[in-house]
Amino acid sequence: MSAIKSLGYLGLGVKDLAAWETFATEVLGLQSVTENGRRVLRMDEYAWRFALEQDDADDVAYAGWEVADAQGLREVAERLSAIGVQVQTANADEAAARQVSELIRFSDPNGLKCEAFCGPTIEFENPFRSPRAISGFVTGQQGLGHIVVTAADLQKSLRFYCDGLGFRMSDTIDLKFGGMTVTLAFMHCNARHHTVALLPLPLPKRLLHFMLQLRSIDDVGATMYLVQDRKIEIAATLGRHTNDHMLSFYMRTPSGFEVEYGWGGREIDDATWHVQKHHAPSIWGHRRMGMPR
């Protein structure tokens, strides 16, 4: 089994903190909290899942990968070292700033700053309270959701995530961009169909989107109309994906990258799953302006 258990948290370096807080709370339904002088967002019993940090990059600042315990953290460090990745052990103050017991730091082949941690702060005594009337998010053992990031060298990146972090391949999608075909690779570390996906294209931002999975399809529909009422750009219309079967739509964030807001993703059982290939991203829908139908 993988040493990495889930995507535990994301740090977002954003230009407009006020716009992001409004978007995160009033549209996404996340709970905004001030922790240790910084603005963080909650979506479940974890003390935080997203951190908003002032940065003109308007991109992902770091990704935090959760392991089960200190032994799992050592396993990740050993795997990474074996493939030539430098690993730094955070001190007690740095771990405390992340509200975890232990923490190591490293970077993926594309420069994405990564952290692996164990012992997150859990606040059952302080339940998550969404500012919106939504049923909540699918998290738990599946983590906060998934991210799709760019990868300059797909094979080198696959080695990092699979050999280094212990992810397993879920499937691939071949997409045509102009006259070229690009292969997206989707990987899992728990029952969620994919926790990270790689797109081998040079794009201005490292993060294409992060995904939040809702507990009710009604939350997705109501939010889609809220987004329209707020005149927020819908980057891709309602649709169902070929690989994870997620029913979702995509909205543009204040930073320019997207959020996938979805429901009903299928889950993976490693005992029976086999890697698949797809030639379309969606069974239906997910139409984008300027893209062929």
Looking at the fold, whether 169 and 255 belong to one and the same domain comes out as yes
Residue 260's domain is classified under what CATH number?
3.10.180.10
Contact at 8 Å (CB) between 208 and 184? Answer: no
Looking at the fold, whether 145 and 95 belong to one and the same domain comes out as no
Chain segment 84-95, per-residue pLDDT in tens: 999 999 999 999
**What is the structure's pLDDT at 46?**
98
Q: How many CB atoms lie within 10 A of CB 162?
A: 16
pLDDT bin (cut points 50, 70, 90) of residue 293 is: very low
Q: What is the DSSP letter of 145?
A: -
Three-state helix/strand/coil letters over 85-114: CCCEECCHHHHHHCCCCEEEEEECCCCCEE
Across the chain, what does the average pLDDT equal? Answer: 96
| 96 to 35, 41, 99, 100: CA distances (angstroms) | 11, 17, 5, 6
Chain segment 20-52, per-residue pLDDT in tens: 999 999 999 999 999 877 899 999 999 999 999
Q: How many CA atoms lie within 13 A of 114 on its CB side?
A: 27
Q: Is residue 123 part of a domain?
A: no
Q: Is residue 290 part of a domain?
A: no
Looking at the fold, whether 88 and 153 belong to one and the same domain comes out as no
Grouping H, G, I as helix, E, B as strand and the rest as coil, residue 1 is coil
Question: Which phi-psi region, left, alpha or beta, contains residue 58 (left: φ > 0; alpha: ψ -120 to 50)?
Answer: left
Number of domains making up the chain: 2
Looking at the fold, whether 13 and 88 belong to one and the same domain comes out as yes
Distance CA 96, CA 100 (A): 6
Query: Would the pLDDT of 292 be above 60?
Result: no
Q: Is residue 130 part of a domain?
A: no
Looking at the fold, whether 8 and 93 belong to one and the same domain comes out as yes
Looking at the fold, whether 82 and 153 belong to one and the same domain comes out as no
Q: Of the candidates 85, 118, 151, which is a domain's last residue?
A: 118
Q: Of the candidates 50, 83, 118, which is a domain's last residue?
A: 118
Chain segment 141-190, per-residue pLDDT in tens: 999 999 999 999 999 999 999 999 999 999 999 998 778 899 999 999 99
Cβ partners under 8 Å of residue 292, min gap 6: none
What is the DSSP secondary-structure string of 150-206? E-SSHHHHHIIIIIIT--EEEEEEEEEETTEEEEEEEEESSSBS-SEEEE-S--S-S
What is the distance of C-alpha 208 from the center of its chain? 10
Looking at the fold, whether 148 and 92 belong to one and the same domain comes out as no
Q: Which domain holds residue 78?
A: 4-118
Q: Of the candidates 61, 87, 118, which is a domain's last residue?
A: 118
Distance CA 203, CA 225 (A): 29
Looking at the fold, whether 266 and 159 belong to one and the same domain comes out as yes
Q: Which helix (H) or strand (E) holds 229?
A: helix 217-229
Please give the share of the chain, as a percent, with pLDDT higher than 70.
98
Q: Is residue 135 part of a domain?
A: no
Looking at the fold, whether 31 and 80 belong to one and the same domain comes out as yes
Q: Is residue 126 part of a domain?
A: no
Looking at the fold, whether 102 and 156 belong to one and the same domain comes out as no
Looking at the fold, whether 67 and 144 belong to one and the same domain comes out as no
The strand order across the sheet containing 234-241 reads: 276-278, 168-177, 180-188, 196-199, 146-150, 207-213, 258-263, 247-252, 234-241, 282-285
Q: Is residue 216 part of a domain?
A: yes
| 54 to 135, 217, 247: CA distances (angstroms) | 30, 33, 32
Please give the share of the chain, as a percent, with pLDDT higher than 90.
92
Q: Is residue 127 part of a domain?
A: no
Chain segment 224-246, per-residue pLDDT in tens: 999 999 999 999 999 999 999 99
